[in-house]
Amino acid sequence: MIASWLWVVFTVIAAVGQTARNAMQRELTRVVGTVGATLVRFLFGLPFGLLFLAGIVYGFGIPLPAPNRAFLAWDALGAVTQIVGTALMLLAMNERSFVVATAYLKTEPVLVALFGFVFLGDRPTAQSALAIFVATAGVMMMSWMKGAAASLRPLLFGVGAAALFGVSAVGFRGAILSLDAQSFVIAATFSLAVGLLIQTTLLCAYLLLFDRRSLVAILREWRPSLFAGFTGAAGSQFWFLAFALTSAANVRTLALIEVLFAQVISRRIFDQKSTLREIAGIVLVVAGIAFLLWTH
């Protein structure tokens, strides 16, 4: 019997990994460009994704599930939208502070709840909807600033990335649910490995055709890229395990805890201080997350 709270553990671990990867990608963008930094999480994450899959298959003797058309369609949708979403995320982070750009991205739960209901029939409860609303209100409070015109570009980049990440989350959950697998663990891990393979193939082909310099730069920066790839793959592994156990909306609402992790990194690494408005927003985010957990 699977513990009902296990998705909470998976999501928190995933949020830690994703925050570390985002911070590393933000730094790599200055060296290898936006598309290059986008590729890093997939190219250097693929070996780890395959390693996770091999460990489950050979370590626990669980056979690989047979992919079907529905799985390939859902997984490809998740993979492609995640590529574009990552690129927009990095553009947003280049124009605003790390924590505020992360906050823009966290408008995602509302979109995920909508997409999940329309495409997968994941109907949120009244309590879940309230938690999403409160936490998202906190995100919007954090991201609001005077001079809206000056912040329009990063706002569009951030919200655009959030929408694409929302579609991606629903796509990957759809892929996991479409597999006839013996365990949710193998379904999640197989979906991750195939998704990383699709993403790496597409981005490598693009850079080989249009930007070989960035590809060479990525290989030169293999040490930080390897770290970004590992944290990205490990984070994704736990995202996928969480998606296999509950709706994407629940997972992405709890994932708002990433804003708190980003706050720490923003202060400690990037030396970016928070305003009182951002702190008030964080309080609402925490309140929304706490209510979500209390009602589940």
* Spatial separation of the C-alpha atoms in residues 243 and 177, rounded to whole Å: 9
User: pTM of the full predicted structure?
Assistant: 0.77
pLDDT at 148: 45
Answer with the residue of higher pLDDT: 195 or 43: 195
Rg (CA), the chain: 18
Answer yes or no: is pLDDT of 203 > 60: yes
* Spatial separation of the C-alpha atoms in residues 156 and 284, rounded to whole Å: 23
Q: Where is average pLDDT lowest: 18-22, 47-51, 159-163, 232-236?
A: 18-22
Q: Where is average pLDDT lowest: 71-85, 130-144, 258-272?
A: 258-272
- 63-117 tens-digit pLDDT: 999 999 999 999 999 999 999 988 887 787 776 665 566 666 666 666 677 677 7
Residue 184, token pair as written in the block: 């949710």
Look at residues 148, 77, 139, 72 and name the one whose alpha carbon lies nearest to residue 107: 139
Residue 18 pLDDT level (bands cut at 50, 70, 90)? confident
pLDDT at 41: 80
* Spatial separation of the C-alpha atoms in residues 101 and 93, rounded to whole Å: 5
pLDDT at 95: 66
Answer with the residue of higher pLDDT: 246 or 284: 246
Residue appearing with tokens 């709706």? 247
Task: Please report, in angstroms and rounded to a whole number, the separation of the first and last CA atoms in the chain.
Answer: 17
Rounded mean pLDDT of 144-172?
74
Single-letter residue type at 271: D
Residue appearing with tokens 């019997």? 1
Question: What is the CB-side half-sphere exposure of residue 171 using CA atoms within 13 A?
Answer: 21
Answer with the residue of higher pLDDT: 165 or 149: 165
Look at residues 39, 24, 86, 20 and name the one whose alpha carbon lies nearest to residue 218: 39
Domain-by-domain residue ranges, the chain?
6-294
Residue 219 pLDDT level (bands cut at 50, 70, 90)? confident
Q: HEC string of the chain?
A: CCCCCHHHHHHHHHHHHHHHHHHHHHHHHHHHHHHHHHHHHHHCCHHHHHHHHHHHHHHHCCCCCCCCHHHHHHHHHHHHHHHHHHHHHHHHHHHCCHHHHHHHHCCHHHHHHHHHHHHHCCCCCHHHHHHHHHHHHHHHHHHCCCCHHHHHHHHHHHHHHHHHHHHHHHHHHHHHHHCCCCCHHHHHHHHHHHHHHHHHHHHHHHHHHHCHHHHHHHHHCHHHHHHHHHHHHHHHHHHHHHHHHCCHHHHHHHHHHHHHHHHHHHHHCCCCCCCHHHHHHHHHHHHHHHHHHHCC
Q: Where is average pLDDT lowest: 156-165, 213-222, 256-265?
A: 256-265
Single-letter residue type at 150: A
